[in-house]
Amino acid sequence: MRANKRRDTQPELLVRRLLHARGLRYRVDHRVASQTRSRVDVAFTKQRIAVFIDGCFWHSCPEHLHLPRANADYWIPKLARNVERDAEVSTVLRDLGWTVLRFWEHEPAREVADRIIAAVEEARSSSSTVRAPHDAGRGSGSQ
Ligand SMILES: [Zn+2]
């Protein structure tokens, strides 16, 4: 059986290079949970951000979906199953408290990287402003 997700695809490498250049450190091909066999393409374990760069063909990109004419009986259910599995993986990760970011391989690497960086920075700043429970009432009535 052929693996339907090749590692280190070109779009993914480009995005990773941009992230690395911006000083971000991440895990590649990271297995988050035993509940899912799938791996996260790029994972920020501290911020719990899971990034997937989905291939247009394998993940049925709406802009580039072209079902193979040959062996349609084989491909249509197979590709549909991939989409289902993507949704399942996203659900498992979200249940575990992860933020899931999915991109298409056709999206410009720079835009993808910018959105990832924004998400990581937001997670960093919100975790640094988390208040202790006893501070929760502070600031009320100041309106
Ligand atoms: Zn596409």
Residue in the block written with tokens 């992230």: 19
| 38 compared with 117, residue with greater pLDDT | 117
What are the structure tokens assigned to 43, written together?
């994972």
What are the structure tokens assigned to 5, written together?
């997700």
Domain spans, the chain: 10-125
* CATH number of the domain located at residue range(s) 10-125 in this protein: 3.40.960.10
Distance 112 CA to ligand 1 centre (A): 13
* pTM of the model as a whole: 0.81
Distance 4 CA to ligand 1 centre (A): 16
Contact between 101 and 7 (Cβ < 8 Å): no
Write down the mean pLDDT value for the chain: 85
pLDDT digits (tens, 9 = 90+) for 33-88: 776 677 899 999 999 999 999 999 999 999 998 788 889 899 999 999 999 999 99
What pLDDT is attached to residue 66? Answer: 79
What pLDDT is attached to residue 142? Answer: 40
Distance 42 CA to ligand 1 centre (A): 19
Q: Which residues of 48-77 are buried (b: 16+ CB within 10 A; e: fewer)?
A: bbbbbbbbbbbbbbeeeeeeeeeeeeeeee
Query: Percent of the chain, pLDDT > 90?
Result: 67
